[in-house]
């Protein structure tokens, strides 16, 4: 017996509820990451629905002074250098950056920075750059994983060959 496909809106609502509970202090941030990572890669529309709902309730983030911008640049550099990423590819690319203190949901034209204390919308140009960063991180990780897999396969073949050559022939 097959179960009917889940309505994407209910998935988006569940994710939004998890985000609200995290921001209210009732859940750990990793619960939000877990909920987002449960969305299949081909259901980017669910993440887009979450992004739309979040953006409907916030102002565009803006820096207010040169000192604030410099301070922000340093903290953002640290956040981005320590991030993990995930991409959803369908129907349109959507990305998630999991940084040490923030979560960033983005697509090519819009993005949201989620903190425990609230959320801010990203400017359009920043959203596009963050989306590209998500894609780059995922592609790089996939390349590293493929290289590691090849090394492990080569090691296994080499160890099997060595082991087989050590087996004595029955005479």
The pLDDT tens digits of the residues spanning 12-64 come to 999 999 999 999 999 999 999 999 999 999 999 999 999 999 988 765 444 44
pTM for the full model?
Answer: 0.76
Please choose, from the candidates 87, 84, 85, 5, the residue with its C-alpha nearest in 3D space to the C-alpha of residue 42.
87
In a domain? residue 169:
no
The answer to whether residue 140 is domain-embedded is yes
Could you tell me if residue 116 is inside a domain?
A: yes
Tokens representing residue 106 in the block: 């983005």
Residue 123: give the domain boundaries: 8-58+70-162
88 inside domain:
yes
In a domain, 2, yes or no: no
- Kindly state the tokens that stand for 52: 């739309």
The reported pLDDT for the residue numbered 153 is 81
- Residue listed under structure tokens 């087996």: 167
Alpha helix (H) ranges present in 62-123? 66-81
Check whether 149 has a pLDDT greater than 50.
Answer: yes
- Asked if 50 and 71 count as a contact pair (C-beta separation under 8 A), the reply is no
Listed in sequence order, the residues at least 6 apart from 103 whose beta carbon sits closer than 8 Å to its beta carbon are 29, 32, 33, 36, 96, 97, 113, 114
Confidence check: pLDDT of 77 > 70: yes
Residue 63 lies in a domain: no
Report the number of distinct structural domains present in the chain: 1
3-state secondary structure of 26: coil
């Amino acid at each position: 017996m097959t179960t009917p496909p889940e309505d994407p809106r209910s998935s988006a609502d569940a994710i939004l509820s998890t985000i609200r509970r995290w921001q209210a202090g009732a859940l750990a941030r990793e619960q939000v990451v877990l909920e987002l990572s449960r969305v299949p890669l081909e259901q980017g529309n669910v993440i887009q629905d979450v992004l739309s709902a979040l953006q409907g309730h916030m102002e565009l983030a803006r820096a207010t002074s040169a000192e604030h911008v410099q301070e922000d640049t340093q903290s953002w550099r640290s956040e981005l250098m320590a991030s993990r990423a995930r991409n959803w590819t369908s129907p349109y690319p959507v990305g998630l950056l999991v940084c040490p203190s923030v979560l960033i949901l983005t697509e090519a034209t819009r993005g949201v920075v989620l903190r425990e204390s609230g959320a801010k919308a990203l400017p359009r140009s920043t959203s596009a750059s963050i989306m590209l960063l998500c894609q780059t991180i995922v592609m790089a990780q996939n390349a590293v994983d493929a290289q590691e897999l090849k090394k492990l396969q080569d090691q296994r073949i080499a160890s099997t060959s060595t082991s087989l050559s050590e087996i004595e022939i029955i005479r």
